[in-house]
Chains A and B, each alone.
Chain A
């Protein structure tokens, strides 16, 4: 079993809809969780991170943690075509471990 798993997609949503991205992790001791966005041909950039003590909202983005089920989700409200990218989940264990990413396409 991979340490961090994501559905590779592609996930397509219409403009203005809510995009929901999920990530499961295997290390129950993980304390911090990160979402990065990577445009094609570019390097990853941090969107937001949360600690094990709660969810977080930042503008159109909300990160939620379900510790019991060991998954993290990223919700993107009012999705825009500019949100089309690969979204990488990363979990902080012994090292920061990245998932393989979910490709999101927002259709105009």
Chain B
């Protein structure tokens, strides 16, 4: 079944650690996105990609980085996690020419 997968679902980590949040989709979508959302708050776009080797920063400044080496894979990396990075990170994808987003289940990150 075509879907979008995020791992880990939950991560608790200490300050200064490097973390990578994985996102993979099996829908053949060209466009992929990372959003950040705090509880009860709005979604903020932090990164997006329209295809392989193409990545852009979103509206919300983020210390994270992303890569798009394969169409189906769009990992997000934090080189040195801080408590201010505690949040939920949502990955999404959409087909070219459309902006109908399909979201993954999310990765809830807690940095102590």
Contacts and interface: CB of A to CB of B under 8 A. Distances in A.
A90 B103 CA distance: 14
Tell me the interface secondary structure of chain B in the complex.
loop
Interface string A8-46: 000000000000000000000000101010000011111
B102 A46 contact: yes
Nearest to B59: A95
Given A32-B99, A43-B104, A95 B58 contact: yes
Contact of B100 (A46, A100, A101): A46
B-side interface size class? 10 to 19
B101 A96 contact: yes
B52 interface: no
Nearest to A32: B99
A104 to B, nearest CB: 14
Interface residues of A, number: 18
A17 to B, nearest CB: 24
Interface string B42-61: 11010010000000001100
B99 A96 contact: yes
Given A32-B99, A96-B101, A43 B42 contact: no
B42 A44 contact: no
B19 interface: no
A98 B43 contact: yes
Interface of B: 41-43, 45, 48, 58-59, 90, 99-106
